[in-house]
A and B are shown apart, each in its own frame.
Chain A
Amino acid sequence: MTRLKRLPVSLLLGGLLTALVVGAALLSLVWTPFPAEQVRVVARLRPPGPVHWLGTDHFGRDALSMILVGARNSLAVGAAAVALGALLGVPLGLAASAWGRWGDEAVARLGDLLFAFPAVLTAILLTAALGAGAVNVVLALGLFNAAVFARVARGAALAVWRRDFVRAALALGRGPLSVTLVHVLPNIAGVVIVQGTVLFAVAVLNEAALSYLGLGIQPPSPSWGKMLGDAQTFLFTAPLQAIFPGAAIAVTVLGLNLLGDGLRDVLDPRHRSAGLL
């Protein structure tokens, strides 16, 4: 109990919202009220009711089922984009901090280059060249994330390299690779995890934006962004069909951001004083 009391509000609320979304995604694996891809034009644009809890879209598909499966799709794309970014970016950042001088410079400039193209723009370029679809969205967002991860990992690692225990390990004759793995990586893990949560939220938002434009997850597989895009033309006739996927995106992004904030408070000693229960 006392431990729980010491946890920041943001962590609890963020964890709760994220758990809700993850729960929805897991639930969709075993159960949805209707098959999410089932088209029944006669039952289109139904308002929420006892049969279709959140109503139906313009093809008569059950909105709740689509939102549940959409959660799975959103989280899958977000997780893949963050994992790809971390797998590429963290080693690059660590290497830069270990090499020093022009190796460092090269990684930093590469990061600048990737930063010059915002994530969504990179994704639009890539999907235009390679075709729309979830895999290319993951690639594009993952590349952008890699740049962020590299920068964050490098900054945090440089600080660790200057610390006494690292100098001691080096003086004892340990090689840079071993020091990186044994001392530097564990000490930057917290920062990387916090960054990962925030990037996860950004990736979910960007995936929704791309699907809204028709470049992301392709039908018949449902996605929140596409649901929003489809519902746009029905704003005057069935406004709720735009509100539900919008709320789902908002809840997910808010939850992940709060979770990131909370984790930072817990993992970073400098922030520990603020925001306690």
Chain B
Amino acid sequence: MPNRQRRAALSITMGAALGLACALAAGPALAQAAPRTDLVVGMRLEPPHLDPTAGAAAAIDEVTYANLFEPLTRIDAEGKVVPGLAEKWEVSADGLTYTFHLRKGATFHDGSAADSADVKFSLDRARGADSVNAQKGYFAAVAGVEAPDAQTVVVTLSRPDGLFLFHMASGDAAIVAPESAGTNKQTPVGTGPFKFERWVAGDRVVLVRNPDYDGPKPALERVTFRFISDPAAQVAALKAGDIDSFPQFDTYEALPQFRDDGAFTVMVGTTEGETILGTNNARKPFDDVRVRRAMAHAIDRKTLIDGVLFGNGAAIGSHFPPHRAGYVDLTGLYPYDPDKAKALLAQAGYPDGFETTLRLPPPIYARRSGELIAAMLAEVGVRVKVEPVEWAPWLEKVFKGKDYDLTLIAHTEPLDIDIYGRPDYYFNHRSERFNAVGAELDRTQDAAKRNALYGEQQRILAEDAVNGFLFMLPSATVQKSGVQGMWVNRPIQANDVTGVRWK
């Protein structure tokens, strides 16, 4: 009998457990009736300040772009130029006059109207002599800005600029008000669907929904950007449920465990980050194209992508992302072939290889790639001394000072193949052919022709083996299942949460 009693007791307990389980299962169902309206977004780096028109740090745009500040045009999730503060625009036939029509009801978060005077102020400020804009070059072609009425802005260019609308969509071209431009770094005032609430230094920035926004209202009422730099802490914060969505999650080795966990979704998309082995083309022995080609043959991209990105990335053969129109696949130009590399080095006069230094900036992809590439180059006799450096000395010595042999970096600006035409850029590379194609690109508006020209530029760079072209940096997002509308790809540095909602 006691046995039966126990069994009965057991079944009662199980029944209770089942009931509890049902109640728990019903929990989410209940929650479905009223989805959450807050979101916690994880970011690796804290922005130095919050004014996108006065700094190059990607973290500024990752908080403010499209959420808090709006430029005239905007880049959407697919990388297309769409209306921003300007609801429509016309371009003159000669490509020199752009007429923007602003949204009628647009206001700044302080209540003042956002009109053509603010646009004129913002553009003149960005291109002015004492401008601190990180991308002054975007405004270099602007000859004048006029505001014929409150809703119309006419921009005239001194020369055609095929990328003008694209550049006007960047965070650097955000429209600010003269009254608040000076204080935007700490208390940003924009025209976007979210407004600034507070910034807890070292921890978080909080944005709240702007009730007076003139466009479609976002589903979220409150968005918190939390800054967690340590990879292990990022994983822990996600697992503990402290973070709802972590875009640009670069601890790739942790992705499988989130994929296996039903509570999370993992999305791997593309960025604009061409990752290259930056090479000082002016310095011996890299001034010899045979040496650069030898190094290209010595690098095994597949191993690199497996080892650094755990397979989450696409190989590139030139400075152009595979997902963009105009891409030409040049990854087969220098297949992995250490013997060929050695032969080329011997031809160039280095049968026993040579010694060189590889300066690595802090990101984990750079440090890991550098270590692997050093091992690969050692196979063909190139003895690489690896030298890790912090961001400030990297910018100072490598990027500005051009004092380096090799470096490793992802160029994350969209459509930035034109950097190879800049006369004083840190690759120290000069090609008249490349520049001639670049000049034609600036004169060309037709999309098909532009793509063909981009292809030609890619081919020139690959044939010159200007840099080691490695892979596209992936964009991995780990988030709770139920978050919808986060960007899969990163056509521009941004965490646009205006379209995010909970299921």
**Residue of A37, A60, A236 with highest tally of chain B CB at under 10 A:** A236
Q: Residues of A contacting B293 with CB < 8 Å?
A: none
Tell me, in angstroms, the Cα distance from A44 to B235 when the chains sit together: 20
A214 interface residue per 8 A CB criterion:
yes
Min Cβ gap B488→A in Å is: 24
A237 interface residue per 8 A CB criterion:
yes
A41 touches B388 (CB 8 A): no
Number of B residues near A (Cβ < 8 Å) is: 24
B371 touches A220 (CB 8 A): yes
A214 touches B303 (CB 8 A): no
Query: Which of A37, A59, A236 touches B235 (beta carbons < 8 Å)?
Result: A236
Beyond the given A220-B371, A220-B374, A234-B253, please list 17 additional residue pairs across the A-B interface where CB-CB is below 8 A. Answer: A37-B375, A39-B307, A41-B303, A41-B372, A58-B368, A59-B372, A59-B375, A128-B390, A215-B388, A218-B385, A218-B387, A219-B386, A232-B231, A233-B364, A236-B232, A236-B257, A237-B253
Q: Residues of B contacting A220 with CB < 8 Å?
A: 371, 374-375, 378, 386
A131 interface residue per 8 A CB criterion:
yes
B226 interface residue per 8 A CB criterion:
no
Tell me, in angstroms, the Cα distance from A132 to B362 when the chains sit together: 13
Min Cβ gap A229→B in Å is: 10
B374 touches A131 (CB 8 A): no
Query: Which of A42, A214, A232 touches B367 (beta carbons < 8 Å)?
Result: A214
- Among residues 52 to 83 in chain A, which have CB atoms less than 8 Å away from a CB atom of chain B? 58-60
Min Cβ gap A137→B in Å is: 13
Tell me, in angstroms, the Cα distance from A218 to B370 when the chains sit together: 12
Query: Which of B253, B257, B307, B374 touches A219 (beta carbons < 8 Å)?
Result: B374
Min Cβ gap A269→B in Å is: 49
Tell me, in angstroms, the Cα distance from A219 to B370 when the chains sit together: 9
B304 nearest in chain A by CB position: A41
Q: Residues of B contacting A59 with CB < 8 Å?
A: 307, 368, 371-372, 375
Tell me, in angstroms, the Cα distance from A215 to B385 when the chains sit together: 13
Query: Which of B231, B307, B393 touches A58 (beta carbons < 8 Å)?
Result: B307
Q: Residues of B contacting A219 with CB < 8 Å?
A: 371, 374, 386
Chain A contact-residue range equals: 20 to 34
Tell me, in angstroms, the Cα distance from A238 to B385 when the chains sit together: 28
A250 interface residue per 8 A CB criterion:
no
A–B complex contacts, Cβ < 8 Å, 6 sampled: A37-B375, A128-B390, A220-B378, A233-B253, A233-B364, A236-B235
- Among residues 85 to 138 in chain A, which have CB atoms less than 8 Å away from a CB atom of chain B? 128, 131-133
Q: Residues of B contacting A45 with CB < 8 Å?
A: 253
A213 nearest in chain B by CB position: B388
Q: Residues of B contacting A128 with CB < 8 Å?
A: 390, 393
Min Cβ gap B32→A in Å is: 31
Tell me, in angstroms, the Cα distance from A17 to B307 when the chains sit together: 35
B362 nearest in chain A by CB position: A214
Q: Residues of B contacting A131 with CB < 8 Å?
A: 387
- Among residues 382 to 428 in chain B, which have CB atoms less than 8 Å away from a CB atom of chain A? 385-388, 390, 393
Min Cβ gap A236→B in Å is: 5
- Among residues 36 to 50 in chain A, which have CB atoms less than 8 Å away from a CB atom of chain B? 37, 39, 41-42, 44-45
Q: Residues of B contacting A133 with CB < 8 Å?
A: 387
A235 interface residue per 8 A CB criterion:
yes
Q: Residues of A contacting B386 with CB < 8 Å?
A: 218-220
Tell me, in angstroms, the Cα distance from A214 to B232 when the chains sit together: 18
B residues sitting closer than 8 Å to A (CB atoms) are: 231-232, 235, 251, 253-254, 257, 303, 306-307, 364, 367-368, 371-372, 374-375, 378, 385-388, 390, 393
State the total of A-B contacts with C-beta under 8 angstroms: 60
Q: Residues of A contacting B368 with CB < 8 Å?
A: 58-59
A44 touches B307 (CB 8 A): yes
Min Cβ gap A130→B in Å is: 11
Query: Which of A44, A132, A218, A237 touches B254 (beta carbons < 8 Å)?
Result: A237
Tell me, in angstroms, the Cα distance from A128 to B388 when the chains sit together: 10
B230 nearest in chain A by CB position: A232
Interface pairs A-B: 8 shortest CB-CB: A41-B307, A233-B231, A214-B388, A219-B371, A39-B375, A41-B306, A235-B232, A41-B303
Q: Residues of B contacting A233 with CB < 8 Å?
A: 231-232, 251, 253-254, 364
Q: Residues of A contacting B251 with CB < 8 Å?
A: 233
Min Cβ gap A231→B in Å is: 10
A235 nearest in chain B by CB position: B232
Q: Residues of A contacting B303 with CB < 8 Å?
A: 39, 41
Q: Residues of A contacting B374 with CB < 8 Å?
A: 219-220
A236 touches B254 (CB 8 A): yes
Tell me, in angstroms, the Cα distance from A235 to B303 when the chains sit together: 23
Tell me, in angstroms, the Cα distance from A234 to B393 when the chains sit together: 28
Q: Mark A190-232, 1 if CB is under 8 A from B, else 0.
A: 0000000000000000000000001100111000000000001
Tell me, in angstroms, the Cα distance from A233 to B388 when the chains sit together: 18
Min Cβ gap A7→B in Å is: 44
Q: Residues of B contacting A215 with CB < 8 Å?
A: 388
Tell me, in angstroms, the Cα distance from A17 to B231 when the chains sit together: 34
Q: Residues of A contacting B306 with CB < 8 Å?
A: 41-42
Min Cβ gap B335→A in Å is: 18
**Residue of B367, B375, B393 with highest tally of chain A CB at under 10 A:** B375
Min Cβ gap B431→A in Å is: 33
Min Cβ gap A198→B in Å is: 30
Query: Which of A41, A218, A237 touches B257 (beta carbons < 8 Å)?
Result: A237
Min Cβ gap B437→A in Å is: 37
Q: Residues of B contacting A234 with CB < 8 Å?
A: 253
Tell me, in angstroms, the Cα distance from A58 to B378 when the chains sit together: 19
**Residue of A42, A44, A128, A233 with highest tally of chain B CB at under 10 A:** A233
Q: Residues of A contacting B367 with CB < 8 Å?
A: 214
A39 nearest in chain B by CB position: B375
Min Cβ gap B142→A in Å is: 41
Q: Residues of B contacting A232 with CB < 8 Å?
A: 231-232
Tell me, in angstroms, the Cα distance from A39 to B307 when the chains sit together: 9
B303 nearest in chain A by CB position: A41
Min Cβ gap B237→A in Å is: 12
A132 touches B388 (CB 8 A): yes
B375 nearest in chain A by CB position: A39
Min Cβ gap A239→B in Å is: 11
Q: Residues of A contacting B231 with CB < 8 Å?
A: 232-233
Q: Residues of A contacting B235 with CB < 8 Å?
A: 236
Tell me, in angstroms, the Cα distance from A41 to B387 when the chains sit together: 22
Min Cβ gap A40→B in Å is: 9
Q: Residues of B contacting A39 with CB < 8 Å?
A: 303, 307, 372, 375
Min Cβ gap B381→A in Å is: 15
Tell me, in angstroms, the Cα distance from A13 to B241 when the chains sit together: 47
Tell me, in angstroms, the Cα distance from A170 to B278 when the chains sit together: 68
